[in-house]
Chains A and B, each alone.
Chain A
Amino acid sequence: MTKLIIILLSAVFINNYILSRFLGICPFLGVSKKLDSATGMSLAVIFVMLIATAVTWPIQMFLLNPNGLGYLQTIIFILVIAALVQLVEIVLKRYIPALHKSLGVYLPLITTNCAILGVTILNIDEGYTFVEAMVNSLGSGLGFMLAMIMFSGVRSKLEGADIPKSFKGLPITLVAASVTSLSFMGFGGIIENLFA
């Protein structure tokens, strides 16, 4: 149990996907302008991360590894994730139109989001069990959400700020992201010691 909590917390804070692992930067810079779109995007990411892990982990462990096909990981994972996202979109559209309406626009963007492929591959690389892998995916998704939501607040303040011409837009956003990332470095070492 303690291990699961450590995995969860370190995925959210220490190895935050955006701010320390640099995965999923594109949506981070693109969709974090407004709070509601940031929330929608992160929910979609959490959702897809969980499903993708639930599908790719068994494929790797029961299909690829026993047959010595570990090298097919990349190609199969991206194939499965792409199909999965499409399937989720169809199912949501049919059965939960309300959810489809709020997450729908973000789903196609997620197929080629490195955070999703990243989390599935990392789960295998770290040698997690199925439960640990799911917890890690949840934590990574939550960390993504935390960074997105926090940053949307930072960006709304940036809009009213007086910024030098060359820094307007993306550059100042990146500098702000740098400071946010710096603050997340403060979490380093805390979580392991919580349970020591």
Chain B
Amino acid sequence: MTKLQNFTKGIIKENPVLVLVLGTCPTLATSTNVMSALGMGAATTIVLLCSNVVISALRKTIPDKVRIPCFIVLIAGFVTMVQMLVKAFSPALDEALGIYLPLIVVNCIILGRAEMFAQKNSIVDSAIDGLGMGAGFTLTLVMMGTIREVFGNGTWLGFPIPVLSDNNISILTMAPGGFFVFGLLIAVVNKFSQNKPKKREFGCEGCPSADICHGKNCGEVEADD
């Protein structure tokens, strides 16, 4: 895999939010407007980049048994740093993100990338992966933020949009709108990725008769749906 592919897979093929469906909580909560979406995306990207680099550097030092607690403490350290930075330089953003800023610790994307990628790959690759995933996360958040802010509030990044600012669907900026827009986005992604044939979930693993049939019947399970 080239470096470029490594970077772009986070944005499209393995988009953490829309394809892997990780980190749904901050996605729904902070995408009410573009500004907080950008802030959340940037904060998460920084944490993701730092944690990926450090975990990849320490991957041979950390004993396998206690790796998860170690990862969590490392991530929590970086989150605290980002928290302090945001508080110092942008109190307004701190106000907007509120509880979701410390909750980056439990964002599954970060721990997921540490487990799936950083602990198996070199520092440079992990850094690129972290940046790519962060970019994918930020892009999705901004996309949702744009939809919700433009149609819900009639503005974009705070600038009013003519016509729309007088006819807004304010429910979109509230909780139900978050679920709805997210559902629609995933449906759109499904629509475009549907051309590839998908195997039915029922594989030989967990199939009670795998011992007996030795996969000879499975040719027929490749479904067309």
Contact = CB atoms under 8 A, between A and B. Distances in A.
Contacts of B179: 174-175, 177-178, 181
Interface stretch (A36-44, A54-62, A111-119): A111-119
Given A74-B83, A165-B194, A182-B171, A125 B76 contact: no
B84 A71 contact: yes
A174 B73 contact: no
Q: Is the interface of A mostly helix, strand, loop or mixed?
A: helix
A26 interface: yes
B76 A78 contact: yes
Interface stretch (A5-13, A16-24, A152-160): A16-24
B116 to A, nearest CB: 14
Interface stretch (B6-14, B100-108, B118-126, B132-140): B100-108
Contacts of A21: 29, 175
A173 B105 CA distance: 26
A178 B102 contact: no
Given A75-B77, A75-B80, A178-B176, A23 B186 contact: no
Interface residues of A, number: 44
Interface string A32-75: 00000000000000000000000000000000000000011111
Interface string B41-81: 00000000000000000000000000001001100110110
A193 interface: no
Interface in A106-131: 111-114, 117-118, 121-122, 125
B190 A26 contact: no
Contact of A25 (B28, B80, B177): B28
B187 interface: yes
A12 B29 CA distance: 18
Contacts of B178: 22, 178
